[in-house]
Amino acid sequence: MTKVPLFNVEISSENGMVRIAVSGELDLATAPQLEAALQQQSEVAARIVLDLTRVSFIDSTGLRVLLQAHDAAQAHGRGLAILPSEIVTRVIRLTGLDQRLLDDTDDPSRMPSGPSS
C-alpha cells in the first residue's frame, strides 16, 4: 500500500505565472513549508496562483500565511489568486476574511499582471 503524504506543496510555472498547489492539512506543523514556498516564489514571480483546492483542513496558522502572502503581494504590486477548497472557503468566510482574501480570486486571468517594467 502506498502511503499518501499528509501535506504536499507542488510548484509549477507557465507564461510568467507560478502555481503553488497545496494538498493535505495546512496547520501549525505544515504552514512553514507553504510560507517558505510563497516567499521564494514571490521573489521571482509577478503572479502567483495559490491552489488550495486539495486542502482538507486549515487552522489559524494557515490563515496567517494566506494573509501575509496577500498583504505582501499587494504591497509589492504583484498578483495573488487564492483558489480555495470548500473547507478553506468555509473557514475564510467564518473568520470574516472573505472580502480580503477571496476578492476576484476565483479567476486567475483577472489578477493584476504585476509591476510594469
Residue 114 lies in a domain: no
- The CATH number that applies at residue 19 is 3.30.750.24
**87 in a structural domain:** yes
**Residue 7 in this model has a pLDDT that exceeds 70:** yes
pTM: 0.83
> Residues 6 or more apart from 65 whose CB is under 8 A from it?
26, 31, 34, 35, 38
Q: Give per-residue pLDDT as tens, 9-53.
A: 999 998 889 999 999 999 999 999 999 999 999 988 989 999 999
Please tell me the total count of domains within the chain. 1
Using an 8 Å Cβ cutoff, are 21 and 54 in contact? Answer: yes
Q: Is residue 111 part of a domain?
A: no
Whether residue 109 has pLDDT greater than 60: no
Q: Which domain holds residue 59?
A: 10-106
- Report yes or no on 5 lying in a domain: no
The answer to the question of residue 98 being in a domain is yes
In this predicted model, which residue has the larger pLDDT, 107 or 65? 65
Position 47 in a domain = yes
Assigned domain for 117 exists? no
Tens digit of each residue's pLDDT (9 = 90 or more) over 89-106: 999 999 999 999 987 544
DSSP 8-state symbol, 77? T
Hey, CA dihedral for 27, 47, 10, 52, is it positive or negative? positive
The verdict on residue 71 lying in a domain is: yes
pLDDT at 5: 62
Rounded Cα distance, 2 and 4, in Å: 6
Q: Which three cell numbers stand for residue 107?
A: 479567476
Res 1: pLDDT: 55
Percent of the chain with pLDDT over 90: 74
Helical axes 31-42 vs 60-75, angle rounded to 10° = 10
pLDDT at 111: 46
In the prediction, which pLDDT does 6 show?
A: 85
